[in-house]
Amino acid sequence: MKDHAVSSNRAIQQTLATYGGLLVAILALLGFFGVFAKNFLTATTLLTMANSIPDITVVAVGMTLVLIAGGIDLSVGSVLALSACCLGWLMVDLKLPLWLASLGAIALGACCGGLNGWISAAFRIPAFIVTLGMLEIARGSAYWITDSNTKYVGSSLGWFSDPIAPLGVSVSFLIATAVVLAGQWLLHQTVLGRTAVAIGTNAESVRMAGIRTTAPMVTLYAICGGLCGLAGMMQSSRLSTVDPNSGVGMELSAIAACVIGGTSLRGGQGSVVRTFFGVLVISILQTGLAQLGATDPIKRIVTGGVIILSVLLDSLRKQSAIR
């Protein structure tokens, strides 16, 4: 009985140590903007924030998995745009049903991601270079498919982003939440997740142990690409259009959310749930600053400062733990 109580206390302490800092930061931001921004702590504002983050959330989940494995994907924004444009082309030009067009868009994103992972892992080429190349290829392909024009897809996707009457949140938000939970489960409860951590910690040791790293890396990058395809659907449903310019800079936002959530850019460490908290921090900051009348440059400066501060605090916390 005593052992059970001790283990329960340890579990609670570990949970607080893992998530407590970010939860305090989120509550502090909510409190600050609630005081200084007149309409911030209202149901309308909070639900609007919730319904605006599904696309960046699912992209950040994929980015987290890749970063933990010691990789990086700079092409996520362009793959999102390409997948969305493919969705519009399949629906509008080829008149395919929504479900089939959606599968095609997600599959295209997964193929782009898988190709990134295969080239990087099989040929030992830095992921930074490979995904930078895919960034240009996917963006150019998006322009090519749409003739550099925005394409209207109508209201057939509207249900995806429309708030559900009793809850006030959209289907996209519920799916994004499910993706976060599935990503956390994959990372901590599956062989693929444990392999990703091992590769990110020391890829050479994994290879010397006789474990092939190519297949896991291809899978992780394919998951990231497929989630970009899903994010493209979410964004298109919200705007009722597909735009070859969509997703510009999303790779930076996704990496920022991961870093704020404590994911190491060196690999081997991270949490999908903490990344979701990182998305919330960025969303609260941007919404609150907008309601205070801050200009876009000011919002970018503050967000950048928060990223640097979060990395600094995390580094100090790790050094303190070592001592």
Note whether residue 15 is domain-resident.
Answer: no
Type of residue found at 301? I
CB contact set of 42 (below 8 Å; sequence gap of 6+): none
Helices (H), the chain: 2-36, 43-52, 54-68, 76-88, 98-122, 127-146, 158-161, 171-189, 191-208, 214-239, 250-260, 272-291, 296-322
DSSP string over 150-189: -EE-TTTTHHHHSBPTTT--BHHHHHHHHHHHHHHHHHHH
3-state secondary structure 3-27: HHHHHHHHHHHHHHHHHHHHHHHHH
Note whether residue 120 is domain-resident.
Answer: yes
Note whether residue 113 is domain-resident.
Answer: yes
Tens place of pLDDT for every residue, the chain, 323 residues? Answer: 555 555 556 656 666 666 777 888 899 999 999 999 888 999 999 999 999 999 999 999 999 999 999 999 999 999 999 999 999 999 998 999 989 999 999 999 999 999 999 999 999 999 999 999 999 999 999 999 999 999 888 778 888 888 988 889 999 999 999 999 999 999 999 999 999 999 999 999 999 988 889 999 999 999 999 999 999 999 999 888 999 999 998 999 999 999 999 898 888 899 999 999 999 999 999 999 999 998 889 888 988 888 888 778 777 766 766 66
Dihedral sign, CA of 69, 75, 79, 81? positive
Note whether residue 14 is domain-resident.
Answer: no
Number of domains in the chain: 1
The packing angle between helices 54-68 and 76-88, to 10°, is 130
Check residue 213 and report its DSSP letter: -
Residue 84 contacts residue 236 (beta carbons within 8 Å): yes
Q: Rounded CA gap, 126 and 150, in Å? A: 34
What's the token pair of residue 277? 């908290």
Note whether residue 26 is domain-resident.
Answer: yes
Q: Rounded CA gap, 228 and 15, in Å? A: 30
Q: What CATH number does the domain containing 81 carry?
A: 1.10.3470
Note whether residue 95 is domain-resident.
Answer: yes
Note whether residue 135 is domain-resident.
Answer: yes
Residue 115 contacts residue 218 (beta carbons within 8 Å): no
What's the token pair of residue 141? 């392909």
Note whether residue 142 is domain-resident.
Answer: yes
Task: Write the CA distances from 173 to 52, 56, 123, 238, integer angstroms.
Answer: 8, 11, 38, 12
Give residue 288's Cα distance to chain centre. 21
* Residue 126: HSE in the Cβ half-sphere, 13 Å Cα cutoff: 5
Domain containing residue 136: 22-322
